[in-house]
A = this chain, B = another copy of it.
Amino acid sequence: MISLAAARQLIVDHVVARSGVAVSLDLAAGRVLAEDVVADGFYPVGDRSQMDGYVVRGDAVPGGFRLAGTVVAGDAPVDPVRPGEAMRIFTGALLPPDGGRVVMQEEARCDGGMVFLERFGDNRFIRAHGSEAAPGARLVAAGTRLGAVELAVLAQVGRTHPRVVPAPVVHHLATGGELVDPSDQPGPGRIRDTNSTLLRALVAGMGGLPFSTRRVPDDLPALVEAAHTTADLLLISGGASVGDYDFGAKALRELGYTIHFDRVNLRPGKPLTFATRGNQAAFVLPGNPVSHFVCFHTAVRLALEQAAGYPLSWPTLWLDLDGPDLIEPSPRETWWPARATVSHGKLSVTPKPWSSSGHTFALAGTNALILVNSESPRDGRALTLLLEPPATLTQSPHV
């Protein structure tokens, strides 16, 4: 049995990022850039107005000016602005040749064909040619995960088909003769399959990764057959304890995978198996949904992040604990379901009433996991792994 830290290191060591491919900006959302993106020219090209107002020559002084035209964004003015003249200009418009200063329209008074500009300030309200980027300037580095802002930067420089690390593809097998489809009424002894729904949503929550799922009986040949896949990551639910009906690791060995670990000092989730075969990775997860949830966030997610080329992330924070009496230091590393919330500008965390059984209902509302180990302090704080977007931190409480 190895520690979670050692298990995570083995995942980092054995899962490689997929090779970069060029995709459209829509498909690039959430993906990691596989190349640097640089400026394709000067930004801005030419001097541009920062304001709606009037443009005059750089050597002009306050006074009256003859109105000599209008420049709007999109125009390419060729006539220069002459001494004693001003042109109406709008935000983003290119300055005419010899134009060197914009005066805000709030400072202007028009009268017939004349405009009177009373005061010139220090600010010329010009975005100068090349002031934001020169050709070749690196704007977004290889290895950056592309969010909305980075995609806008790529659009601005015309990089509409960037090379990115493609989304890893996940194939899931739910083993267990007792499972029925969630839409079916379980017969005696049977239960509905919840892990497929759980894993599909957890994987989708990482940025819409492709996911397929299939139920297979507790039968080694059937599992081996179903586990043939070209997916980047194979997830097998159930079949991970020492029971006679556990076939996950056996099937992986039979398919040529190398097992890197099969037990982790992790509660819940001890009988967690990790294996690779070439560029493919596989996990066998203990069957209960709470174990699935914890194994996903502490181990499986890391493999997906590695395959997707994401920067390593492990957003663990020391937070004040509401209800610290629920948590006792424990020699077995435990990741306890919890709910983090923001109140008065401060994050704190409340453990869920969870009792290591496979009790999915108690997990509802979980957006964090608290680490409990032999070094857990008794000072009312807990090291907390945040799982969800910040928006959920201020949701109203769940039942």
Contact = CB atoms under 8 A, between A and B. Distances in A.
B147 A392 contact: yes
B315 A390 contact: yes
Contacts of A90: 243-245
B342 A317 contact: yes
A68 interface: no
Interface stretch (A2-10, A91-99, A111-119, A254-262): A91-99
Given A50-B357, A392-B313, A144 B398 contact: yes
Contacts of A399: 138-141, 144
A58 B201 CA distance: 41
Interface string A376-399: 000000010011111111111011
Interface residues of A, number: 120
Contacts of A398: 140-141, 144, 150
A85 interface: no
A152 B360 contact: yes
A242 B25 CA distance: 33
B313 A393 contact: yes
Interface string A193-208: 1111111111011001
A270 interface: no
Nearest to A156: B194
A169 interface: no
Nearest to A146: B201
Interface string A236-273: 00000111110000000000000000000000000000
Interface string A269-304: 000000000000000000101000100000000000
A373 interface: no
A310 interface: yes
A387 B147 CA distance: 11
Contacts of A202: 148
Contacts of A44: 191
A160 B194 CA distance: 11
Contacts of A120: none
A12 interface: no
Interface of A: 25-26, 29, 43-46, 50, 52, 72-77, 90-94, 105, 127, 132-133, 138-141, 143-145, 147-158, 160, 176-179, 182-202, 204-205, 208, 218, 241-245, 287, 289, 293, 305, 310-318, 342, 345-347, 357-367, 383, 386-396, 398-399
A201 B148 contact: yes
B342 A152 contact: no
Contacts of A150: 364-365, 398
**Best-buried of A91, A138, A190, A287 by chain B (most CB within 10 Å):** A91
B313 A74 contact: no
Nearest to A73: B178
Contacts of A197: 25, 148, 151-152, 154-155
A191 B42 CA distance: 12
Contact of A149 (B364, B386, B393): B364
